[in-house]
Structure 1
Amino acid sequence: MQDQWGSNPLHPNSLGLKPLVPPNKQLLPGLPYEGLQQVAHEPGKTYPLAKLTVYPGWSAKPYEFGEVGLYQFGRGSIIYYTTNTTIGNMYWGTPAVIPGIEITRDMWAQTDYLYSHTAKALLRASGRPQAVQITGMQPRGETDGSQPAELSVVAPGGAFTGTLRWQIRDQWGIVTTHGKQPCQATDQGVILRLQDVTFAHAGRQFVDVWLDNAAGETVDWGSTFVEVNRGLAPPKIQLKFPDRTPRGEPLEGSVVMEDAPAGTTLRLTLVDRFWREVGRLTGPADAPLRFSFPAGGLAGQIWFLQADALDPAGHLLSRAHTEIRSPKTKADFGAWTPAATTYAHGTIEMSAYQEMIRQLGYVANRSGSLTPLGANAALWNDLQNYPTPWHITALGDDAPMNDWEEPALREEMRRSLQEVCESVKPWGVWGMNLTDDSGAYRQLPRGAYSAIKFYEWLQTEYGDFDAVCEAWGWTPPEEEVADEDLPQNPYVQVAFHQWLQKKYGSLEDLAKAWKVTLGQWANLHQRMVQLQRDKGNRLPTEDVTAFKQQFAGNADTDNPFARITNESIKAAYDAGQTAAWIDAQRFCQKLWVGDMDFVCQAMREVIPDAYAGTDAAYYGYSAAEAFGRLNYVCPYYGHVTVKLGAQRGRMTQPGLYGACLGTYGGKPANLAVRRNPICDCLLSGGTGYVFWCFWNGNGITFDYKLQDAHALYQTEVNQELDSGIGDLVAGCPPAYAPVAMLYSLSSGTCDQLEAKHEPVTSHGLSWDAFLAAFEDLGLYPYPIISEELEGGFLQKHGIKLLALPGCNALSDKEIQVVRDFVNAGGVVLADVLPGRRTPCGVVRPQPPLADLFGVEFTPEGPEEKARLRGVLSGRPAPDTPEVTFGEALGDPRVKATTATVLGHVGESPALLERTFGKGQAVLFNCSFSSYATWRAEGGEPWLLWHQIMLRLAGAAGVPRPFPWTSEGKPTPGFRITNFPNGKGYLLGVQELGSGDFTGPRRPLEIALPEAFHVYDVRAGKHLGQVTTLKTDLPRGGVRIYSLMPYQVKSLDLRADKTSLAGAGTVTLTANLNLDPATRRDRHVLRVEATDPQRQSFYPFQRVLEAPPAGPVRVPLTFALNDTPGVWRITVTDVNSGAGTTVTVQLKGEKQP
């Protein structure tokens, strides 16, 4: 049995089989084919250059089921059927047997019939004989309700006696009535009338029947669909806000009934996403019925409003329904906003995945596409449609799109993106993810438009063409062009594109004429024409020849910058002239970030507060630039990368900053890394993360269980953070120390030039080392980029200590800023002599900061290397005895002049300090980049370096905010981040491990700046009022402490009513009692509820921020179909663990 879609080698036709009977639906009778519906997307608008089709909306249409075929195969048989399962749901292993048609919420009931079809096909394919079979049902389709319900039955094996069970379901799948009756059938067949079935209610209804044998076993089943028309037009619903109701506003509007018979009543029912009837209103149909449902006590972002016209007997005359949408904004979600990845298609199977991730604590869904239906489907699970992939990358010269600067492409990108945003805006959208698995070009693209943009960038960097040549030490030669070739000159290429447009029209027409595939006009360059000619296609060459005969040049074609091309740069690099090569790489990385920024700005013209940015990508050394310009940053998880993203993001603008995690690989269940990355995101100052991916076979199994790879363990952490801890910590920005670290794109790019000399370090290794060293001091530094260093960041933010990790390349302006900073009293740390190269990699004749550090530099000769290996010995401080640090690398080219030398590697000075003006310059002329190794091993080498860093931070006037020890001794392997909270703090503590401690739990003592009441937030426990926090952590353990100047004595909680009926709202008032009474720090409250069966009730879960003073009021609306009885509602202060429970009696009988 095969659910057939498309071409398949198992198709009976492919096997050469002939059907036993003509394919037809009645091979599997008893299914309401004519009553099923599916989604019809409205015609999309295609943007060919942007490779995007925008679908503005959808409507319902009859479901085209396909057909069923029966074929003999040997002594068995093959049944195939086509359910029109979408290809998209075959992706990542979804079984084809699961129906995957796109449907909306009001079509969900029909999914049962698709599964019913599958079960019937399995039964038929099994060959098991049936004692009785349903061969038909009446009525079917539209009816006035007067026809009786009848069932055609045959008993192939002889007389059958049993029971006929039946039910009627409305369009939502709700059973409105049911019954059973005895039945008998013969091999000649009989017609059974369903004696108690009537169709008094108007609208779409399904009649389901089961035939049970005497033993109570179901032998066959079937269904029919009816659309009862009682001759009255449905009510008209008019919403006050047709697209989206602003958050906090009541859900308002009116219902009008035209030509209603006397005595007709209107009944309005408001249904939330849990299918709870949270509002009801009735009134006579002869006047408009106005409604206003308060939104404060309701959960979710979308509701169904149903308007029923009822006759005096209470029977349904006609029905209308609509959605009321009130999508959340980012501010409504809270400070901690984790997102997950699953489908956002409108299928009931995918909705189950989305509901699962929502209840695991994720608030947004990273969809596979951004369509109105996908956004609508996410909203029904209280998810925000999350940044969808918008792939800005550079795959190579032959990629369909490789020149993002082409004006036509950029305009299409802008218009198509904005149209997408407009189409999904009513359902809510967070924004765009721009770089999934992508990266910047590693060389100048051949496309003309990026080249012209490069020339503009060079002019801002250097000035005119002669100035560029002087900076590079190289003058590009004039281009020599063969008669058949298109010049590489980008201005000539642009003119050629314009010439082709006049001749052929669109790019599609040109591609058809040339018999080639073209992604954009920029694909038409010299190499492309040559490749086509080599393949025997001379059509492009003929057009090039014709163009050159007609084109006499223009004002731009003689621009000398046009000599700078992909080919000329490569030729210079091969000849040893590397400056243009480096500048092209620097430019491409900046251009990549700029292209992301372009999309962000285009999107924000439609949705001003949209998140737009990047996650899993290959950033190179453009990471800090991207992370500081985008407000959504979730790179591939890395302990250092996540800190860079969070630190850069939080210091620039509000946004979502974290990491991209996922269900990759199998790791032992006791491995801390399976849980720790989420806490690492949070305690790095992050505000969320994206989990990739919750798809069947990966994050979730086919039977909707969490995979035991990462998902199971990491979502346990997320659920804990979702209980309010995440919002508590993420809502308090981390405390930046007056320390800055330069993340230098130029230095990182120039590392490739240093590599042949086997240098002591690289920019990346040094960055990691300095970050770890500051972390061991409990300092949270500002990661800055060159433009910020040049633009006065140090002075604006009161920076006292500047680290230049592996900064081999600096601009003249950066060099002057460093010099002025030290002269004015700052302390600068470096582990290579900074700025020996210009930003384009040219080696300066003399290191410009040699005098600042009190050294001289001997340029390397042809045989000399940039490092030597030896034992580092020296003094951690001028007044301490000399000790041995262990093996290290040193740079023998550096010699001390006026610097104080505190250590050597062999004869090479390694630890150099010099007072300059009012400040100090320190050079670690050794492999300080090994700090991560010393830190992991612990012991004497780490302690010596830690003492040096501690002394230098003190000399700069940067004290440790929360110094710590283990059993009274300094220790590595702890990470403590402090988050100021009013007059108190939150402390995040992570145990990272260290080789000098092997026990199961490591003691820790943290000195506090004053006496605080300390609470273990995760345990909800008061640890007393102390000046030293003493604890111990297991390997990989994480603790979060709340330090407050007061004690939380209790939480008062009362309800404004002790009993109420369904659709009523109870308002809770919660207030914290503090000792001494004072203005509160930032507190977060968690609301939980249990129903009368003591089951957790998810719709009432809330996480709320308490105001600085006064009570918190929490409205909760009960539904008409909630379970009557005693409900327990608990409010807990997340900071302290103080909580109180109240009970509320829900009166009445539960309604269906």
Structure 2
Amino acid sequence: MADELLLPAPALDPTGPVVVLWRPDAPAAGELQLEWTEGEGRLLERHRITLAEPQAEIAIRLDLRRARTPANRITARFRPAGSGAETKAEARFFVRPASGWTQYQVILWQDLPAAALVGMRSLGITGSRLLRPLSPAGRDDAEQRMAVGLRWYTENLATDFYAPYHRWTPGRSVTWLFDQTKARHQQNPDDLTVFHRQPSLSDPAWLATIEARLTEIARVQAPYRPLFHNLADESGIADLAAAWDFDLSPASLEGMRVWLKERHGSLAALNRAWGTDFPTWEAVTPALTRDALRSEAAVPSWMEFKAWMDVAFARAVRAGTNAIHRGDPQASAALEGAQVPGWGGYDYGLLASAVDAMEIYDGGNAIEIARSLNPDLRVLITCFGTGAAEQHRLWRAWLLGAQGTIIWDEDGSVAGPDGQAGPRGALFAAMWREQTGALGVQLLEAQPAPGQVAILYSQASFRMNWLLDRRLGGDAWVERDSEAEGADNPWRAATRRAAQALAGLGAQPRWITPEALSAGELTRDGTRLLVLPHSIALSNEEVAAVRGFAEAGGLILADVPPGEHDALGRRRNAPPFADLVASRRLRLPASLQAEKVPPGEMVALLAEAGVHAPLALLDATGRPAADLDIRLFRSGGMMIAGIQRQDGAEGERQVELRLPGRLWVRSLRDGTPAALTDRLVMQLGPIEPVLLALSPASLPAPTLSGPALAARGDLVTFRLGLDGPASASAHVMRLEVVGPTGQVVSVASGTVRVTPEGTLWHLPLALDDMPGQWRVRATEVVSGQSVAMNLQVR
């Protein structure tokens, strides 16, 4: 037995008091001294208590607002009255980060030695991944990261369920199971058990097992607040985004039949829709790809089978997310390695709302689509490469609304085993520090600000387009892999061209699902222009909604005549929009099939639709500038415009910003003061973006008030505010504390989110801090203005 110190939890919030219990091995009278020290040994609190009589337990209250570093230690020394020997007890605890996603995260995937973790911070790296979260080794890894202020996410918790056909296995290819499945099909094409997914996404026993596992991991990790819990990396119905006729297993077919009953209402209605004559629901089975390629009569059944598998995947992912939330209601569930929209369960109309966070390989406008369909989704991007093109891509993802980067560093080119920067780390460090700093926090406070333009996201059109493209190849489709399915096709190309043309003019589009379109959402939200990219398969309800939109005065753009098939792939007898084409309410401009849409033509179409872009960028000739990417965010009454040149640009380029009226404009990255203007000339480089704050009201300066005198050991409270009405929903300030030697006290400095009503901020002075004149400086991100005051510490 020995003296012991007891804390409520191993990780605690720095928001107020906490009670520490000291329990002696043998109660006795004497003197108890308790000291609280932080990571580098600074003394935050000291308590001396005289025990006139033996006590079995002493409660000491600590104010955790004094915490300045994540790692902390409490030491208790007891000297008994008389001749007894001094006893000692120690306890460690961590101050955990605030709940939620409070800054842009830059996460290193590979593990580094514990000694390298501090060096990672200097590169702008804020976190890492954590394997084996329930094991002792996993807990040790977590504590090493927490001690230096790095966050983490738990990795690959259920790849055996969500990614069995693309999963690392010692001594095998990651696709060995899918390769084996395809080989079985080649040997015996009539063996339909090859289309039984192992395990089935609808198997109740597997779902229960996975949910129990995820709930336990979230519960155990809850005290440490990981960034998220990753259900699986590079998951999919088969191998990533590969096309395959999964899943014909009994559990999947049973789930599909229940889903079909909900959709069709009766077996007779299903038979009419499919052109079949199933006598019972138990007899209902879908057509396979080989059937749909050979007979148009099989297409409706095949289309709904593929739709069901997207539903089954999204439901299984949602079940994992719900299990994480049961273990920790504040936790986030995620998927990594999300694929291009298309096969594999990547119907973002379903998937974007099935998890809280997603690392997306940005092909096929996946980031824009996912963020548009679920604005609350935390999106991360992956960093694989180096050089100017990779820098451009990472900046662009930031402007698309990505809130984190996961770095793949297999060769140590970002950070070496000592934590020092490699060539990639040296190249990207300044960018990462900026994104994770106060400006990045300010961008997190904003939401994407779509305008009056919507783009239809039609998964049915993707399926129908794919089927038509495969008809000439027959059964050769079974040899296609995920890489082939991720390549460009007319559906993706049309989406990309339209989105790029609109974003280049500041007419930031949003995506709309068929369900939202059919519900009449466009006629209620002020949309003036609807784009139908290669939308060849539309339901009757979608057709009616498009017509209603046109009748209400909306303009429709398409690259091909839309809706020539219905949502089940059945060819219509006549084009459904011939009259709209004749009346010019639906346009089929040839430029939408070109690689780039001329900006002047799109400007004219926007004007005809009545779309009013909040800004315009002109080249030296006064025409709309081409090859730009403009991303808009809204925070309160302020807009943030991110302007970047498209990939592959060279040299500097001058453009002129034109606004519809006089606004307060400030470039957030170059430190220039705000100006009241309706035009601005800017220089754009080939890689980095310009960020502009645009506000009808003047940008307020920061205010700072607090005491002028303090003593070592005090918790000094300051009030941060604004000298005028808030422009944004919250203003972010960078706090810099300078000690008597003139050095910045990094453990006391940081970033503070200031509400329009003002915010209290605490400066904890350690008992062994240096006395003399300290200085606190607050710089507000939006206005760029600063305020400072001195604090005399005795």
Instruction: Quickly name the TM-score band, shorter chain normalised.
Output: 0.7 to 0.9
In the alignment, the residues of structure 1 paired with residue 151 and residue 416 of structure 2 have an alpha-carbon distance, to the nearest angstrom, of: 24
Query: For residue 617 of structure 2, what is the aligned residue in structure 1?
Result: 964
Amino-acid identity (%): 21
Contact 2:286 2:301 in 1 (8 A): no
Contact 2:118 2:419 in 1 (8 A): no
User: Aligned pair in 2 of structure 1 residues 356, 251: CA closer, same or farther (>3 Å)?
Assistant: farther
User: Aligned pair in 2 of structure 1 residues 745, 274: CA closer, same or farther (>3 Å)?
Assistant: farther
- Displacement after TM superposition at 1:809 (Å): 0.8
1:539-574 per-position Cα deviation (integer Å, ceiling 9, x unaligned) = xxxxxxxxxxxxxxxxxxx845445268x6645645
Query: For residue 107 of structure 2, what is the aligned residue in structure 1?
Result: 340
Query: For residue 949 of structure 1, what is the aligned residue in structure 2?
Result: 602
Tell me, yes or no, if structure 1 residue 472 matches structure 2 residue 193.
Answer: no
Tell me, yes or no, if structure 1 residue 754 matches structure 2 residue 468.
Answer: yes
Q: Aligned with 1:600: secondary structure?
A: helix
Alignment of 1:649-688 (within 5 A): 649-650=374-375, 654-657=376-379, 659-662=380-383, 664-665=384-385, 667-668=386-387, 671=388, 673-686=389-402, 688=403
1:31-70 per-position Cα deviation (integer Å, ceiling 9, x unaligned) = xxxxxxxxxxxxxxxxxxxxxxxxxxxxxxxxxxxxxxxx
Query: For residue 563 of structure 2, what is the aligned residue in structure 1?
Result: 835
Tell me, yes or no, if structure 1 residue 1028 matches structure 2 residue 679.
Answer: yes
Please say which structure displays the higher CA radius of gyration.
1
In the alignment, the residues of structure 2 paired with residue 992 and residue 314 of structure 1 have an alpha-carbon distance, to the nearest angstrom, of: 79
Correspondence for 1:735 among 449, 453, 463 = 449
1:315-367 per-position Cα deviation (integer Å, ceiling 9, x unaligned) = 97222233445533543x42x331413468xxxx6444444444544554332
Q: Aligned with 1:716: secondary structure?
A: helix
Query: For residue 174 of structure 2, what is the aligned residue in structure 1?
Result: none
- Displacement after TM superposition at 1:643 (Å): 2.3
Tell me, yes or no, if structure 1 residue 1043 matches structure 2 residue 694.
Answer: yes
Contact 1:283 1:289 in 2 (8 A): no
Q: Aligned with 1:810: secondary structure?
A: coil
Contact 2:695 2:727 in 1 (8 A): no
Tell me, yes or no, if structure 1 residue 780 matches structure 2 residue 491.
Answer: no
Tell me, yes or no, if structure 1 residue 416 matches structure 2 residue 213.
Answer: yes
1:248-290 per-position Cα deviation (integer Å, ceiling 9, x unaligned) = 232323324353454x322222233454332222212445543
In the alignment, the residues of structure 2 paired with residue 964 and residue 315 of structure 1 have an alpha-carbon distance, to the nearest angstrom, of: 82
In the alignment, the residues of structure 1 paired with residue 96 and residue 280 of structure 2 have an alpha-carbon distance, to the nearest angstrom, of: 53
1:695-726 per-position Cα deviation (integer Å, ceiling 9, x unaligned) = 673532223223323x4333321201222101
- Displacement after TM superposition at 1:772 (Å): 0.9
User: Aligned pair in 2 of structure 1 residues 1019, 316: CA closer, same or farther (>3 Å)?
Assistant: farther
Alignment of 1:222-371 (within 5 A): 234-239=2-7, 241-242=8-9, 245-246=12-13, 248-257=15-24, 259-262=26-29, 264-285=30-51, 286-287=54-55, 288-300=57-69, 303-310=72-79, 317-325=86-94, 327-331=96-100, 333-334=101-102, 336-342=103-109, 350-371=113-134
TM-score by length of 1: 0.59
Between 1:801-810 and 1:420-429, the stretch displaced more is 420-429
Q: Aligned with 1:303: secondary structure?
A: strand
Query: For residue 163 of structure 2, what is the aligned residue in structure 1?
Result: 393
| Structure 1 unmatched runs, 5+ | 1-232, 477-557, 854-898, 900-913, 935-941, 1148-1152
Query: For residue 147 of structure 2, what is the aligned residue in structure 1?
Result: 380
TM-score by length of 2: 0.83
1:1037-1066 per-position Cα deviation (integer Å, ceiling 9, x unaligned) = 3111223445568645455244532x3333
- Displacement after TM superposition at 1:624 (Å): 3.9
User: Aligned pair in 2 of structure 1 residues 930, 1094: CA closer, same or farther (>3 Å)?
Assistant: farther
In the alignment, the residues of structure 2 paired with residue 282 and residue 342 of structure 1 have an alpha-carbon distance, to the nearest angstrom, of: 46
Query: Residue type of the partner of 1:296?
Result: R
Query: For residue 304 of structure 2, what is the aligned residue in structure 1?
Result: 583
In the alignment, the residues of structure 1 paired with residue 467 and residue 5 of structure 2 have an alpha-carbon distance, to the nearest angstrom, of: 70
Tell me, yes or no, if structure 1 residue 596 matches structure 2 residue 283.
Answer: no
- Displacement after TM superposition at 1:683 (Å): 1.9
In the alignment, the residues of structure 1 paired with residue 607 and residue 295 of structure 2 have an alpha-carbon distance, to the nearest angstrom, of: 49
Query: For residue 846 of structure 1, what is the aligned residue in structure 2?
Result: 574
User: Aligned pair in 2 of structure 1 residues 843, 260: CA closer, same or farther (>3 Å)?
Assistant: same
In the alignment, the residues of structure 1 paired with residue 331 and residue 290 of structure 2 have an alpha-carbon distance, to the nearest angstrom, of: 40
1:600-626 per-position Cα deviation (integer Å, ceiling 9, x unaligned) = 112212322322232313353213432
Contact 1:343 1:367 in 2 (8 A): no
In the alignment, the residues of structure 2 paired with residue 306 and residue 639 of structure 1 have an alpha-carbon distance, to the nearest angstrom, of: 57
Correspondence for 1:1134 among 769, 776, 781 = 781
Query: Residue type of the partner of 2:604?
Result: R
In the alignment, the residues of structure 2 paired with residue 989 and residue 314 of structure 1 have an alpha-carbon distance, to the nearest angstrom, of: 75
Q: Aligned with 1:413: secondary structure?
A: helix
Contact 2:506 2:615 in 1 (8 A): yes
User: Aligned pair in 2 of structure 1 residues 310, 1007: CA closer, same or farther (>3 Å)?
Assistant: farther
**Greater share of helix residues, 1 or 2?**
2
Tell me, yes or no, if structure 1 residue 1108 matches structure 2 residue 756.
Answer: yes
- Displacement after TM superposition at 1:807 (Å): 0.5
User: Aligned pair in 2 of structure 1 residues 761, 947: CA closer, same or farther (>3 Å)?
Assistant: farther
Q: Aligned with 2:423: secondary structure?
A: coil
User: Aligned pair in 2 of structure 1 residues 841, 1051: CA closer, same or farther (>3 Å)?
Assistant: closer
Correspondence for 2:419 among 704, 710, 717 = 704
Q: Aligned with 2:711: secondary structure?
A: strand
Tell me, yes or no, if structure 1 residue 802 matches structure 2 residue 569.
Answer: no
1:79-113 per-position Cα deviation (integer Å, ceiling 9, x unaligned) = xxxxxxxxxxxxxxxxxxxxxxxxxxxxxxxxxxx
Tell me, yes or no, if structure 1 residue 451 matches structure 2 residue 253.
Answer: yes
Query: For residue 653 of structure 2, what is the aligned residue in structure 1?
Result: 1002
- Displacement after TM superposition at 1:416 (Å): 1.6
1:1052-1081 per-position Cα deviation (integer Å, ceiling 9, x unaligned) = 5455244532x33333344444xxx44553
Q: Which runs of 4+ in 1 moved over 6 A?
A: 312-316
Correspondence for 2:373 among 648, 656, 665 = 648
In the alignment, the residues of structure 1 paired with residue 197 and residue 413 of structure 2 have an alpha-carbon distance, to the nearest angstrom, of: 31
Contact 2:42 2:766 in 1 (8 A): yes
In the alignment, the residues of structure 2 paired with residue 342 and residue 685 of structure 1 have an alpha-carbon distance, to the nearest angstrom, of: 21
Query: For residue 335 of structure 2, what is the aligned residue in structure 1?
Result: 614
Tell me, yes or no, if structure 1 residue 426 matches structure 2 residue 74.
Answer: no
Q: Aligned with 2:505: secondary structure?
A: coil
Query: For residue 1013 of structure 1, what is the aligned residue in structure 2?
Result: 664
Tell me, yes or no, if structure 1 residue 991 matches structure 2 residue 677.
Answer: no
In the alignment, the residues of structure 1 paired with residue 83 and residue 198 of structure 2 have an alpha-carbon distance, to the nearest angstrom, of: 63
User: Aligned pair in 2 of structure 1 residues 575, 810: CA closer, same or farther (>3 Å)?
Assistant: closer
In the alignment, the residues of structure 1 paired with residue 435 and residue 364 of structure 2 have an alpha-carbon distance, to the nearest angstrom, of: 19
Query: Residue type of the partner of 1:1118?
Result: L
- Displacement after TM superposition at 1:746 (Å): 0.7
In the alignment, the residues of structure 2 paired with residue 957 and residue 1135 of structure 1 have an alpha-carbon distance, to the nearest angstrom, of: 31
Q: Aligned with 1:1022: secondary structure?
A: coil
Query: Residue type of the partner of 1:705?
Result: Q
- Displacement after TM superposition at 1:819 (Å): 1.5
Tell me, yes or no, if structure 1 residue 825 matches structure 2 residue 490.
Answer: no
1:366-390 per-position Cα deviation (integer Å, ceiling 9, x unaligned) = 3223336144444333344425323
In the alignment, the residues of structure 1 paired with residue 124 and residue 68 of structure 2 have an alpha-carbon distance, to the nearest angstrom, of: 15
Correspondence for 2:746 among 1090, 1098, 1104 = 1098
In the alignment, the residues of structure 1 paired with residue 213 and residue 577 of structure 2 have an alpha-carbon distance, to the nearest angstrom, of: 50
In the alignment, the residues of structure 2 paired with residue 431 and residue 970 of structure 1 have an alpha-carbon distance, to the nearest angstrom, of: 42
Q: Aligned with 2:352: secondary structure?
A: helix
1:808-864 per-position Cα deviation (integer Å, ceiling 9, x unaligned) = 1111211111122212222221111111122232322323333333xxxxxxxxxxx
- Displacement after TM superposition at 1:312 (Å): 7.2
In the alignment, the residues of structure 2 paired with residue 435 and residue 696 of structure 1 have an alpha-carbon distance, to the nearest angstrom, of: 23
